[in-house]
Structure 1
Amino acid sequence: MAVLKRIRASTLMETLVATVLIVVIFMISSMLLNNLFSNSLKGSDHQMEEQLNQLVYAYGHGKLGLPYSEEMGDWVFSVTPLNQNGMETVRFEVTHQLSQKTIGKSIIHAN
């Protein structure tokens, strides 16, 4: 009969408070995860950097004419020759049209 010993139960108010706390913690954690996921998608520019590297490679092997411009979605690629301090350089740049985020590389023109 020791198994049938009376166990003290929690009140309705304690159960409701615990339920509300669990729901609030779940909501906060889901909002944080959603925010992190959306920021990782918005800030991901690895594909654009890869395309920029492909343009540098194509220029280095004589397959890219200057000046060059291309649009890919909201991103604009541009390759322009520059003359800085008597040195001929080539500027590779990709710019997001909405956020104006720019990624760029400059290389010295090889004759």
Structure 2
Amino acid sequence: MVVLKKTRASTLMETLVATVLIVIVFMISSMLLNNLFSSSIKGRTHPVRERIHELRYRYGNGGLHLPYFDEMDGWEISVENGKSTGVPVVTFRAEKKGVDKSIVETMVYGE
């Protein structure tokens, strides 16, 4: 009658090595996730694009006088008249302060 069967146990050194390997894998994965989330937050341009679309709407309905300048969450927004290949256009530009990132949209006067 074998009620208490003897099982082979691992040594303390094997347990420590396995624990260290698991901790290293979790550290690397958490650093990768942190990098992904921070870059997605830094690269978010949705609120600024919404503001540009709002300004386009206001300009199209006569509610915006040019030139127009504004700041929003570290972005400098400007709306100015100009010409592109001889056609009069309105340029909507948003530039991030301290970073080489910009959004430019143009609209023909008659649009």
TM-score, length-normalised on structure 2?
Answer: 0.94
CA RMSD of aligned residues (A): 1.3
Cα distance change on mapping 1:3 and 1:29 into 2, 3 Å: farther
- 1:6 is matched with 6
2:102 maps to 1:110: no
Can you give the 5+ residue segments of structure 2 that lack an aligned partner in the other structure?
none
CA distance in 1, matches of 2:5, 2:94: 74
2:88 maps to 1:88: yes
Alignment of 1:26-41 (within 5 A): 26-41=26-41
Q: Which runs of 4+ in 1 moved over 2 A?
A: none
CA distance in 2, matches of 1:6, 1:29: 38
Structure 1 residue matching 2:10: 3-state secondary structure = coil
- 1:77 is matched with 77
What residue identity is the alignment partner of 1:76?
Answer: E
Can you give the 5+ residue segments of structure 1 that lack an aligned partner in the other structure?
none
